[in-house]
Amino acid sequence: MTRYAMVIDTKTCIGCGDCVVACKTENKVPEGLNRDWVVEATNGTYPNLTTEFRSERCNHCSNATCVTLCPTGASHHWNDTNIVLVEAEKCTGCKACIAACPYDARLVMHPDGYIDKCTFCHHRVEQGLDPACVSSCPTRCMHFGSLDDPHSKVNQLLKTRQHKVLIPETGNDPNVYYLT
Amino acid sequence: MKRREFIKVSSLLGTSAAVAPPFMLGGCVTNPPPGTGVVSKSPTICDMCFWKCAGEVYKEDGELWKITGNEDDLHSGGRLCTRGTGGPGAYLDRDRLKKPLMRVTVDGRQTFQEVSWDEALHFISEKMQGIAASAGPERLAMLHHGAGGHHFLHLLRAFGSNSHAEPAFAQCRGPRDVGFRLTVGESASSPERTDMANAKCIVLLGSHIGENLHNAQVQTLAEAINKDVTLITVDPRFSVPAGKSKYWLPIKPGTDIALLLAWMNVLISEDLCDTDYLDRYAIGFEQLAEHVREYTPEWVYLETGIRPEVIRETARELAKAAPAAIVHPGRHAVWYGDDTQRSRAIAMLNALLGSWNRKGGFYIPEKVALPEYPIPEYPKPKFSTGDAYPGKWPFASQGVTNGVIDASIGEDAFFKGWLVYGTNLPQSIPAVKDKLRAAANSLDLLVVVETMPSEMTGYADVILPECTYLERYDDLRNSGERHPSLALRMPAFEPKYESKPGWWIAKQLGNRLGLEEYFPWQDYAEKLDWQLQQVGSSLEEMQKIGVKNFPRKYPLYFRDGQRVQFATPSRKIELYSQQLADKGFDPMPVYTPPEPVPSGYYRLNYGRMPAHTFGKTTNNPLLFQLAPENQLWVNPMVANEWSIKNAEYVRLASPSGAISNKIRVRVTERIGPDSVFMAHGFGHKSKRLRLTAGVGADDSELMSNIKIDPIMGSTGMRSNFVTFVKEQA
């Protein structure tokens, strides 16, 4: 399996939401729905504070419970990669994947009647481009690439910087990393 | 990842998806991936804010798909911000102005009626000629914001008036620009000429870069953070950059000048100034040393709440990094009425560090020497804008909007007509609604050119619907930057509805006023092509590339020991300002304590949020989804005291009795217990803005304590207080 990862630097993320709007226009996401979102976490009391901004989305888990629990095979790993897609033709809208996702990263329902989600912009990845959110980010805090390539920017960052994933204890082996 | 050239992909996938797949449980069809249709792109200059990033408009199968940054563009670094990415929403907004509208009286009630362009333009030109004949053309003033205003300034000047003002001056960056000019002879420019990517230490003083998305500013600050810059943020609020800073100085609001003077005190008393730079370029150092002697860190601590050792340590950090040190000039500088003096203190501090026009400090911007299209000279006006408010604000380097409004009220008012372009005065000028009503009643003509039915359109005699930036040519962008560069805005679409480009509207009015010779082009493309040919390009080339960068003709920074003539009376950096002293102002900045907060009240702090350009974008359907309303930041102790819960709606009241629209509370530690904060630009009253009307609160209508800067006329707005009015369940 080819493993693609997103590495997001919380040191320079400003929580501006450009990633959210870029995803919406690139992927023509219907009104009222989002495939990615920004979380702000503030700790401490005035004036001893820290704030972390995180751009969040599907973690494209290598061990994706949404894929294993999908009764129809609509949720699948795309082209022997970790990119998780939903095949609309096979999706019955049963929402088992929503229940199975520990990250609450799936859209409730596309108006066309299937469960929609972040695709890591696989249509761009195929062309050698970064996902739309990554290539729009004004602070360049988002990085994308292959974990199989030891020289990739994402591997370099993970080697040299402290990082975390969200809810690692799920065992889902998520592929969105946050530099801290 | 490696980038590749953009590839046009045929619509193969699009057709195959229409054929029923063999296995179909859900009965849905996967939409083809975006970009599989017929894709084309054309250049634009973003109009979502004043920053003017160059971008590329993508269409798929003839429909607007997305807008991205132009890789060759210094303003955007190839990446648009949240608002720029949301640009399609401006074009798609169903509430756009669609037809010219004229105020008529039906059954004794005033209303707007759709009229033809011919009718609207005829009415306006007749009224303009009437004003010229009875009072003189100078009595027509223009109030404007944004790049498209150029067409109407041209019309105004051809008509014989040069009376104009933009709120961007007296309601925003005016004091900063005047303060810098008085000190170093030049403004801090737009885009700001800060060399942040090369800086080793940066001070942000109330400037919340990252909450504002002034694109290259955000990008160069992020670059500096990646290079481990020492970031010092001075802000009573734990702003986004405060969270990225090595030092956050939660200063007591309104005491910034004291801190700046204390920093100068430390630099001078510890002998940390760039004396070679100062000897060569500055005058008044001895007077300054004497002046700041009393502003010791210990004394200033009592005013600012910033501990003396922190003041000393941060001053030393600045000195250690100098000249690669920036005390950022900020942008929205209209705070307490002594704002020109505060901006001067910032410029002076940069001079002590030797950072003005030095690497890692400020750079010298350069433009393209772009010839103007040959047209006859404008007639010389008998009056300038400042003649409308004689004797006031001697250092106002541009028209003062609040001065123009005051001079438009009453039968014998100086101004008889307004042309308002792209600015929503009811929100951009504090507490102005009564004055606007009075002015609208006094003026013979009030024309508003807009894309959206803003509150300002409600005051107009005639509303002219301009098409959006995605449907028009405007002037070439030629702003001072690290490299000279030109950028093109061109139509990606035909104008929707009956909207028209600004250049067309101005030309039509010019023709009706007998000013044809000033508008010799049939299409604005001809004018742009002629200009581009003069600098070795062409419209055809620019339609392909969008941005053209040119080599610099002079260095980016001062060379070591370079002889420099500054554009001040002494030809030096003026630490002591004789010209201020001559007009009766303090020759060096003096600290005045802010008014105390009345009991039971809180300081009203306001600013930007990254999703919006104030009220200009709140109705944009894409950005509305991201941020539909503003929130009121309230410290948990204050919330507790008032029994206000997070996410509850409250109203705010000013001491003069103004009550705000309801606003949702965000209980957060990121603000101290003496203030509340909200993003500006919400609480729209215009019902024709169907998404945003009535959503959130408008800070500007809560302002009753405006501090006018006597030096240049700006309206200080940080001296306002509010208290809570709880919503009844």
Domains and CATH numbers, chain B: 194-362+564-582 (3.40.228.10), 602-726 (2.40.40.20)
Of the candidates A168, A149, A132, the residue with the CA atom closest to the CA atom of residue A55: A132
Position B26 confidence tier, pLDDT thresholds 50, 70, 90: low
Q: Which amino acid is at A68?
A: T
Q: Where are the alpha helices (DSSP H) in B114-166?
A: 117-134, 149-159
CB contacts, 8 Å: B23 with chain A = 89-90
Structural contact between residues B85 and B96, judged by C-beta atoms closer than 8 angstroms: no
B440 vs B454: CA distance, rounded Å: 16
Write out pLDDT tens, residues B203-258: 999 899 999 999 999 999 999 999 999 999 999 999 999 999 999 999 999 999 99
Structure tokens at B582: 């001559």
How is residue B30 annotated by DSSP?
A: P
Structure tokens at B428: 């951009």
Phi, psi of B391 (to 5 degrees): 80, -5
Structural contact between residues B375 and B212, judged by C-beta atoms closer than 8 angstroms: no
The DSSP bridge partners found for residue B659 are B653
Residue B86 above 80 pLDDT? yes
Section B110-122 average pLDDT: 97
- Nearest residue in B to A12, CA atom: B222
B255 vs B265: CA distance, rounded Å: 16
B350 vs B359: CA distance, rounded Å: 13
Q: Is B133 on the interface with A (CB under 8 A)?
A: no
Residue B22 above 90 pLDDT? no
Residue B8 above 90 pLDDT? no
pLDDT score of B24 = 46
Q: Is A23 on the interface with B (CB under 8 A)?
A: no
**In angstroms, what is the C-alpha Rg of chain A?**
16
B497 φ/ψ sector (left φ>0, alpha ψ -120 to 50, else beta): left
Nearest CB neighbour to A92, from listed B25, B65, B623: B25
CATH number where A171 lies: 3.30.70.20
Residue B453 above 90 pLDDT? yes
Q: How far is CA A81 from each of CA A123, A165, B8, B110, B709, rounded to the nearest angstrom? A: 13, 19, 25, 65, 62
Of the candidates B604, B664, B661, B605, the residue with the CA atom closest to the CA atom of residue B629: B664
Write out pLDDT tens, residues B335-367: 999 999 999 999 999 999 999 999 999 999 999
Structure tokens at A94: 């049963």
Section B647-668 average pLDDT: 97
B701 vs B426: CA distance, rounded Å: 8
Nearest CB neighbour to B25, from listed A89, A112, A140: A89
**In angstroms, what is the C-alpha Rg of chain B?**
26
Of the candidates B441, B452, B230, the residue with the CA atom closest to the CA atom of residue B325: B230
Nearest CB neighbour to B626, from listed A21, A88, A132: A21
Sign of the C-alpha dihedral computed for residues B335, B341, B347 and B353 taken in this order: negative
Secondary structure percentages of chain A, helix, strand, coil, to 5: 25, 25, 50
Residue B21 above 80 pLDDT? no
pLDDT score of B16 = 35
Out of B12-21, B94-103, B321-330, B718-727, pick the least confident.
B12-21
User: Where in the sequence is the domain holding A89, given as residue range(s)?
Assistant: 4-179
A110 φ/ψ sector (left φ>0, alpha ψ -120 to 50, else beta): beta
Q: Which of residues 669-728 of B touch A (CB under 8 A)?
A: 669-673
Structure tokens at B351: 């001079």
Give the distance between the most distant pair of CA atoms in chain B. 88
pLDDT score of B12 = 32
**What's the mean per-residue pLDDT of chain B?**
95
Is A21 in contact with B82 (Cβ distance < 8 A)? yes
* Residue B687: other Cβ atoms inside 10 A: 11
Write out pLDDT tens, residues B549-586: 999 999 999 999 999 999 999 999 999 999 999 999 99
Give B559-564's long-range contacts (Cβ < 8 A, gap of 24+). B561/B280, B564/B280, B564/B281, B564/B357
Nearest CB neighbour to B85, from listed A21, A28, A112: A21
pLDDT score of B178 = 98
How is residue A111 annotated by DSSP?
A: T
Structural contact between residues B333 and B172, judged by C-beta atoms closer than 8 angstroms: yes
CB contacts, 8 Å: A32 with chain B = 625
Give the distance between the most distant pair of CA atoms in chain A. 53
B398 vs B389: CA distance, rounded Å: 13
Q: Which of residues 150-179 of B touch A (CB under 8 A)?
A: none
Write out pLDDT tens, residues B300-335: 999 999 999 999 999 999 999 999 999 999 999 999
- Nearest residue in A to B219, CA atom: A139
Sign of the C-alpha dihedral computed for residues B392, B394, B399 and B401 taken in this order: negative
Chain B nearest-CA distance from A50, in A, is 6
Q: Total structural domains in chain A?
A: 1
Q: How far is CA B342 from each of CA A169, B217, B226, B323, B352, rounded to the nearest angstrom? A: 53, 21, 30, 21, 15
Write out pLDDT tens, residues A26-39: 999 999 999 999 99
B312 vs B319: CA distance, rounded Å: 11
% of chain B residues with pLDDT over 70:
96
- Nearest residue in B to A92, CA atom: B26
Mean pLDDT by 10 residues, chain A (180 residues): 96 98 96 94 97 97 96 96 95 92 85 92 97 98 97 97 96 97
B720 vs B264: CA distance, rounded Å: 29
Q: Where are the alpha helices (DSSP H) in B569-680?
A: 578-582, 621-626, 636-641
Of the candidates A125, A160, A131, A159, the residue with the CA atom closest to the CA atom of residue A143: A131
Q: Where are the alpha helices (DSSP H) in chain A?
A: 18-27, 65-69, 96-100, 122-125, 132-136, 153-160
CB contacts, 8 Å: B77 with chain A = 138
pLDDT score of B13 = 34
Among all chains, which residue has been given the structure tokens 């210990």?
B298
B25 vs B23: CA distance, rounded Å: 6
B686 vs B689: CA distance, rounded Å: 6
pLDDT score of B146 = 93
Residue B3 above 90 pLDDT? no
Is A114 in contact with B668 (Cβ distance < 8 A)? no
Chain A nearest-CA distance from B52, in A, is 15
Structural contact between residues B350 and B202, judged by C-beta atoms closer than 8 angstroms: no
Q: Which residues contact B351 (CB under 8 A, 6 or more apart)?
A: B183, B184, B277, B278, B281, B282, B573, B575
Residue B486 above 90 pLDDT? yes
Q: Which residues contact B185 (CB under 8 A, 6 or more apart)?
A: B566, B567, B568, B573
Chain B nearest-CA distance from A97, in A, is 15
Report the first-to-last Cα separation within chain B, whole angstroms: 54
User: Would you call B9 helix, strand, or coil by DSSP?
Assistant: coil
Task: Tell me the pairing of strands B109-114 and B101-106.
Answer: antiparallel
pLDDT score of B29 = 73
